[in-house]
């Protein structure tokens, strides 16, 4: 069953005239395993969205993660008044996790990262504190 938010973003994608640079997103939106993230729809000010995208780009480069759409999203966000509001729709599937960005009624970009490759380091054993 497809959620309302997934259908909404797919509809915006279908209405786009120029889909250049959106091949990844088309495949992702048609994934059989696509799901909403727990906090799927959020609204933020553009300057926050731009900072988030810049941070994501820096982090994924540092950790050598494969990303999709981040640089193009940054370019799109830089063209919008930084005090305007933008909607985030966050999704994942078995291979990727990320967000689609909507300004007004227009899908303006996306940022996705390949899942996996995260290293979890062991923490402190609390039992050692009492010795």
Q: Which two tokens stand for residue 31?
A: 């994934």
Contact 89/40 with Cβ under 8 angstroms? yes
What's the whole-number mean pLDDT along residues 21-43? 88
pLDDT > 70: percent of the chain: 87
Give the number of C-alpha atoms closer than 13 A to the C-alpha of residue 22, restricted to the C-beta side: 20
Core vs surface per residue 28-67: b (16+ CB within 10 A) or e: bbeeeebebbeebeeeeebeebbebbeebbeebeeeeeeb
- Over the stretch 89-105, which tens digit does the pLDDT of each residue have? 999 999 999 999 999 99
| Domain boundaries, given as residue ranges, for the chain | 21-116
- Over the stretch 49-88, which tens digit does the pLDDT of each residue have? 999 899 989 988 898 888 899 999 999 999 999 999 999 9
Query: Structure pTM?
Result: 0.81
- Residue position matching structure tokens 């909607």: 87
- Over the stretch 14-24, which tens digit does the pLDDT of each residue have? 998 877 778 89
């Amino acid at each position: 069953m497809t959620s309302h938010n997934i259908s909404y973003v797919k509809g915006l994608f279908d209405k786009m005239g120029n889909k250049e640079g959106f091949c990844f997103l088309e495949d992702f939106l048609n994934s059989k395993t696509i799901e909403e993230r727990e906090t799927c729809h959020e609204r933020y000010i553009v300057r926050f969205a731009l900072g988030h995208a810049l941070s994501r780009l820096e982090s994924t480069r540092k950790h050598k993660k494969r990303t999709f759409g981040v640089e193009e999203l940054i370019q799109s966000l830089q063209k919008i008044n930084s005090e305007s509001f933008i909607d985030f729709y966050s999704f994942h599937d078995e291979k990727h996790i990320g967000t689609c960005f909507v300004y007004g009624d227009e899908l303006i970009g996306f940022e996705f990262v390949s899942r996996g490759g995260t290293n979890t380091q062991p923490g402190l054993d609390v039992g050692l504190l009492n010795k």
